[in-house]
Amino acid sequence: MKVSETNLPGVLVVKLDVFDDSRGCFAETYHKDRYAEVGIDIEFKQDNISRSSRGTLRGLHYQIEHPQGKLVQVLHGEIFDVAVDLRRDSPAFGQWTGVRLSSESMRQLYVPPGFAHGFYVLSETAELWYKCSDLYSPQHERTLLWSDTQLGIAWPLDTPPLLSEKDSRGVSLADAECYESVVC
């Protein structure tokens, strides 16, 4: 596998080694020791699958307690995946990075704890699998407003996004509530 850094410290793009032949392909999607060697040395506690239709925008989610690091991969379709640095002591605080992930590219995005995460669906449907370093804690989940002008995320929108009620009520970075090590 090949790992490349993004413009945000700790957010990594992982390109899997894919073995193709006439029957199809094989790729190892996670191996604790190999990931630790490239700097993703974290215990994952929960796996999730998300399926969404074209134009859906989910996020930007984070937890004020039990922050989750995430290893995201698209199993079907294509998305624009975004991470926002919420580590108050980081020189990149409030900055974002965006990466296209698809089932064709077989790339993953690692988003460490301390970041908000969201994605926009570019294909007819997209199915994501992602590992989380802590358990989902709904009472601690918060949502940044995806369209906050202070963040200035360049979402590749071709139509207004399909949003959940929760995501449409997200708050600006200036009003964000954060957990103890990430005081906004």
All domains of the chain in start order, with CATH: 2-175 (2.60.120.10)
Which residue in 84, 110, 113 sits closest to 97, CA to CA?
A: 84
Position 179 confidence tier, pLDDT thresholds 50, 70, 90: low
User: Nearest 5°: CA angle at 12, between 180 and 42?
Assistant: 55
66 is catalytic: no
Catalytic residue among 35, 61, 120, 179: 61
Q: What percent of the chain clears pLDDT 70, i.e. is strictly above it?
A: 97
Active site (annotated) includes residue 61: yes
**Among 110, 120, 130, 179, the one annotated catalytic:** 130
Average pLDDT over every residue of 150-166: 96
- The alpha carbon of residue 57 and the mean position of all alpha carbons in its chain are separated, in whole angstroms, by 12
Q: Which helix (H) or strand (E) holds 109?
A: strand 107-111
Paired tokens of 108: 């993953």
Q: What is the pLDDT of residue 39?
A: 94
Determine the 3-state secondary structure of 37 from DSSP.
helix
pLDDT digits (tens, 9 = 90+) for 27-67: 899 999 999 999 999 999 999 999 999 999 999 999 999 99
Residues of the chain above pLDDT 90, percent: 89
Mean pLDDT of 61-85: 97
Mean pLDDT score, 71-91: 95
